[in-house]
Amino acid sequence: MIDIKYDLEDIKNKRKTIKKLLFERSINIKADNFSKIEDNDLYILFELYDKIFLFSWFKENFKGKIILKLSKQLSRAAGNTKTSKCIAEMKPEEIKFEIKISLNHLINFNKVDRIKYVGGIEAASVLDGLMLIFEHEICHVIEFLIYHKSSCSKKNFKNLIYNIFGHVESTHKLIGVKEANMSIFGMRPGDNVKFMAEGRTYNGFIQKINTRATVMCFDERGRYIDEFGRRLTKFYVPLESLMKDD
């Protein structure tokens, strides 16, 4: 597998073939922009990648197990590959990988209108995004099998993913939860906001935005004290419950 090298035209054509076969086989994914996906689609995708890019190496040689999962927990990383720390000492049939793909990144894909990249390659659709993330994670599996460790910031990984999939970067510029939320609700850290909780209105400012906003509110009984000696309480508030307060 380490010797595989495709040129960029080849890679494009192989991706096209994979899409075509995926649309035939998946009951959820029938077009580039899909709105439903389940774990089973990842298994179909893996089989297709193995066949089209890797000469069915996994099907014919790999004795271990690969678990593929869509994850709602990943918020920063678009994908993640894990295996046992002692992979070097394991029997082939004991080796197990778990690849997680972030559902949030797929859901958020079209929420912000800008060009998105994965691995330095433009992802024009949510399926492009998914496939490029998947390619990155497949390279982690291959690197783990060859070197018993894997790091996408190091040279081995960069060579591998460039040769097989043409990626020139090991990061992605997809839409994270934070960017999607900020763009939809038009809120940024530092903004003054108000919200209702337990029948009263709280006034404060946004300290941080993730899936929810961290809001600091002035409150005589608060545990936090700012540089002026004012007391504050910290709240985690869903963005849709916040109102701007100017």
Q: Where does this chain bind Zn ion (CB under 5 A)?
A: 152
Nearer to Zn ion, 41 or 143 (CB): 143
Burial pattern 69-84, b for ≥16 Cβ within 10 A else e, equals: ebbeebeebbbbbebe
Euclidean distance between CA atoms 103 and 138, whole angstroms: 17
- Strand locations in 5-109 (E): 65-71, 79-83, 96-102
Nearer to Zn ion, 133 or 215 (CB): 133
Nearer to Zn ion, 161 or 239 (CB): 161
Q: Are 213 and 242 in contact (CB under 8 A)?
A: yes
Nearer to Zn ion, 152 or 215 (CB): 152
Pick from 56, 55, 52: nearest CA to 13:
52
**Minimal distance in Å, beta carbon 138 to Zn ion?**
11
**Minimal distance in Å, beta carbon 2 to Zn ion?**
18
Residue with the CB atom nearest Zn ion in the bound state = 152
Nearer to Zn ion, 97 or 195 (CB): 97
**Minimal distance in Å, beta carbon 157 to Zn ion?**
7
Q: Are 164 and 53 in contact (CB under 8 A)?
A: yes
**Minimal distance in Å, beta carbon 213 to Zn ion?**
29
**Minimal distance in Å, beta carbon 170 to Zn ion?**
6
> Which DSSP category does 190 fall into?
T
